Amino acid sequence: MGHTICEKRECTGCSVCVSSCPKKAIKIDLDECGFYRPKIEDNLCVNCNVCNRVCPVNNPPEVYGPTKAFAFQNTEEVRFNSTSGGFFHAIACRIIDDGGVVCGAAFEDDMVLRHIIVAKKEELAPLQRSKYVESSLDGIYTRIRDYLRNGRKVLFAGVGCQAAALRNYIGEDKNLIIIDLVCYGVPSSGLFRDWITYIEKKYAKVVDVRFRDKSYGYYTPNIKVLFENGKYIENCRDSNIYAKLFFRNLSVRESCFSCHFKTVDRSSDITLGDLWQTDGLETIKDDDKGTTCLFSHTEKGKELCQELGAVEIDKEMLLAKDAQKMVSCISTAAGTGKFWELYKERGFEVIINTYEKDNFLRKVKYLIKSLLNRTGLSRWMYRKLKMKKIRDNR
Ligand SMILES: Cc1cc2nc3c(=O)[nH]c(=O)nc-3n(C[C@H](O)[C@H](O)[C@H](O)COP(=O)(O)OP(=O)(O)OC[C@H]3O[C@@H](n4cnc5c(N)ncnc54)[C@H](O)[C@@H]3O)c2cc1C
Ligand code: SF4
Ligand code: SF4
Ligand code: SF4
């Protein structure tokens, strides 16, 4: 039997094993369900175990408890182009001002999500916003190491398994700042590409997907697919099917169901997430434009949060209210096996026709949602729902 790194169901696709293999014996590619998966060429492997030691599943890095909790709101313009309060943009600007570089996930021209490195503030826009798909980190670890060796500061932002992989690869370095995200899980890259291909065949070339578009407010969910010709689609079967499969937990990577990195203590410097409940915070006003919640885990992380003007909030209160999302894994959906069998055997178009039928009722549902959004009624309804949730939690 050939060399194995970690159990297949636990592998996160972080690809740090690929970067660390001294014999270049590991390649990463999409498996039959469209997830990034490392493959070892046995004839090149010398069983040195370097890949096993760097793999964050086999060998989780040391974690630190949150030292402090903060809330952050950037300017309205930055927040509109961010998922929550735009903290990522603020810290990225600081690192660039200090002569450093920023590494985050961006859609490239082929609409594949990859971690890229930028050194100018004008290049930050594609890195902003959460993208609900696996990001490719192939080759990124060695590039980060090279920047650090040249004395440059590096800010890295990614999901927990990627942050842990980078920490294992680099270790502690005063010039490295690692941000990880509160993470629901990630869907298959192959499925995402198939969805984009399906949409492009029907409409036009896709240039961006905004999974948490704020056109109707922070609390009103809206997915917007933007085309090269300046047009876009939203609130319809074609724009919503991909996220529907994600939030039904059907298209999520297997490792996300028993994630090792969803803990309150983290190996990162700062953890970012959405702050849904701003009631009781005097200096943060809930204006339906988004607030980032932050947990600092290191001295360096805490100092950066403070210097950037994040407002300190009661850590224990935030953990009591909101820690569930830091630690609880999503559960496997009934019918996942059938879903993947169908996808592998019959492809994406059969999936969409099975899971979101194109019938009269569906069209009426989207029409009503669209009207509610455009008249501002959905914004009002979602705020009411949010207030009810807060009252129920008291
Ligand atoms: C897949 C995913 C699931 C998430 N689930 C939750 C959740 O359940 N609860 C919660 O509170 N918050 C969740 N978040 C985090 C949240 O959506 C925001 O990213 C966070 O609030 C920071 O927002 P911001 O406005 O400060 O920065 P933003 O401008 O939104 O910056 C987001 C940063 O995330 C990076 N990023 C975007 N997509 C990916 C990706 N697919 N893989 C790796 N890095 C990526 C970008 O490079 C950027 O640096 C999730 C994020 C992702 C990517
Ligand atoms: S055991 Fe060593 S040579 Fe083999 S794949 Fe892992 S790192 Fe590469
Ligand atoms: S290092 Fe990452 S990609 Fe490689 S086996 Fe471990 S989890 Fe999978
Ligand atoms: S849930 Fe865990 S394993 Fe899945 S992408 Fe997020 S951090 Fe990685």
Q: What is the value of pTM for the model shown?
A: 0.96
Residue of the CA atom closest to atom 4 of ligand 4: 256
**pLDDT-based confidence at 40, cuts 50/70/90?**
very high
**Ligand minimally distant from the alpha carbon of residue 274:** 1
User: Which pLDDT value is given to residue 81?
Assistant: 97
Q: What letter would DSSP give residue 28?
A: E
177 touches ligand 4 (CB under 6 Å)? no
Residue of the CA atom closest to atom 10 of ligand 1: 273
Share of the chain above pLDDT 90, in %: 83
CA of 158 to the centre of ligand 2 (A): 25
User: Which pLDDT value is given to residue 174?
Assistant: 97
CA 249, CA 164: separation in Å to the nearest integer? 23
129 touches ligand 4 (CB under 6 Å)? no
Whether the pLDDT of residue 394 is over 60: the answer is: no
First to last CA, the chain: 56
- Selecting from 3.40.640, 1.10.3470, 3.40.50, 1.10.10, what CATH number does the domain 68-186+253-327 have? 3.40.640
- Residue (of 98, 64, 67) closest to 303 by Cα position: 67
256 touches ligand 4 (CB under 6 Å)? yes
Most confidently modeled range among 14-18, 279-283, 372-376: 14-18
CA 116, CA 206: separation in Å to the nearest integer? 20
**pLDDT-based confidence at 277, cuts 50/70/90?**
confident
104 touches ligand 1 (CB under 6 Å)? yes
Chain segment 244-259, per-residue pLDDT in tens: 999 999 999 999 999 9
8-54 placed in CATH 1.20.58? no
Is the sign of the CA dihedral 297, 300, 302, 304 positive or negative? negative
Chain segment 62-101, per-residue pLDDT in tens: 999 899 999 999 999 999 999 999 999 999 999 999 999 9
275 touches ligand 3 (CB under 6 Å)? no
Q: Where are the domains of the chain?
A: 8-54, 68-186+253-327, 189-251+331-393
